[in-house]
Amino acid sequence: MNAVTEPHRPYYIPNPSPYPVVLSGALFLLGLGAALRVNALTAGWWVLGAGALLAVYVLFAWFGRVIGESRAGVYGLQEDRAFRWGMLWFITSEVVFFASLFGVLFYERNIAVPWLASFNAPHSALAPFSPWPHFTAQWPNGGPAGQGFEVVNPWGIPALNTLLLLSSGVTVTWAHAGLRAGRRTQLKAGLALTIALGVTFLGFQLHEFSEAYRVLGLTLHSGVYGATFFILTGFHGLHVTIGAIMLAAMLARTWRGDFTPENHFAFEAVTWYWHFVDVVWLMLFVFVYWL
């Protein structure tokens, strides 16, 4: 089943490496900084900053190292497959992460809010005891003690953003086709176009958030609607940002002459990630903005 296609080539086992332990240290600092910061301790900013700097540095060094190894040709088919499976499982765990957030949206909207309103039902024996006597179930909902707010019109910026991300899915595939066919100009153009679309998406998204806060009164404090809206769109935006950074790294590597039509795992991994982010957006558009 896993026939070793290169029988004389032992699997590449890297030498002892400082990056993992230092990256753990960086994440420790990030965690510590965050925990201090949310409790209004100023030292938190410094610890967070130190952690972030260290993390960025290690990521550069670690990825640089792996890219160096790849260029030196130490990776064979088996290593390549290992990376692919690793990336796929990582994306799977991300899928679970977003699925749980959608699960939360489902629970709040279809279980929690109707439950809270059910105490007021006309024939309910509990009606005299209802903690929220005037509450009715509807969506969007800011909760029985919430302030009023308006929601984002799905057919404005969100629809445009859907178009942007869907086209970016096409352009990245076009870039990939270029890479496979050895047309490097197409590859570069496709990548640049994808990044541009992604950045535009992010810009629109930021604009939408600021509108929500300033004009619509829709904030993190707007009950379950605001909470689920911002956590879902916020984490998606974070993933688009990460994806765009990774695409930019791919563009830089392309410029440097990396990737061959046969061997370009890193590029493929980033496209998988980008498509994943696309699909999440479609779900967001339907379940958060539209329905």
Measure the CA–CA gap between 157 and 74, rounded to whole angstroms. 47
Question: According to the binding rule CB under 8 A, does residue 126 interact with other proteins?
Answer: yes
Question: According to the binding rule CB under 8 A, does residue 111 interact with other proteins?
Answer: yes
Question: According to the binding rule CB under 8 A, does residue 20 interact with other proteins?
Answer: yes
DSSP classification of residue 139: S
Looking at the Cβ atoms of 76 and 154, the one nearer to other proteins is: 76
Looking at the Cβ atoms of 226 and 243, the one nearer to other proteins is: 226
Question: According to the binding rule CB under 8 A, does residue 56 interact with other proteins?
Answer: no
Residues in 170-199 at the binding interface with other proteins, rule: CB under 8 A? none
Q: Which two tokens stand for residue 246?
A: 């990774």
Residues in 57-86 at the binding interface with other proteins, rule: CB under 8 A? 58, 61-62, 64-65, 68-69, 72, 74, 78, 81-83, 85-86
Residues in 221-260 at the binding interface with other proteins, rule: CB under 8 A? 221-228, 230-231
User: Site for other proteins (CB under 8 A): how many residues?
Assistant: 90
Chosen residue from 48, 113, 269, 288 binding other proteins by CB under 8 A:
113
Looking at the Cβ atoms of 14 and 156, the one nearer to other proteins is: 14
Residues in 143-172 at the binding interface with other proteins, rule: CB under 8 A? 143-146
Question: According to the binding rule CB under 8 A, does residue 24 interact with other proteins?
Answer: yes
Q: Which residues contact 115 (CB under 8 A, 6 or more apart)?
A: none
Question: According to the binding rule CB under 8 A, does residue 49 interact with other proteins?
Answer: no
Looking at the Cβ atoms of 89 and 155, the one nearer to other proteins is: 89
Question: According to the binding rule CB under 8 A, does residue 120 interact with other proteins?
Answer: no
Report, in Å, the least distance between residue 99 CB and other proteins: 8
Q: Which residues contact 246 (CB under 8 A, 6 or more apart)?
A: 270, 273
Looking at the Cβ atoms of 117 and 152, the one nearer to other proteins is: 117
Report, in Å, the least distance between residue 37 CB and other proteins: 9
Measure the CA–CA gap between 250 and 222, rounded to whole angstroms. 39
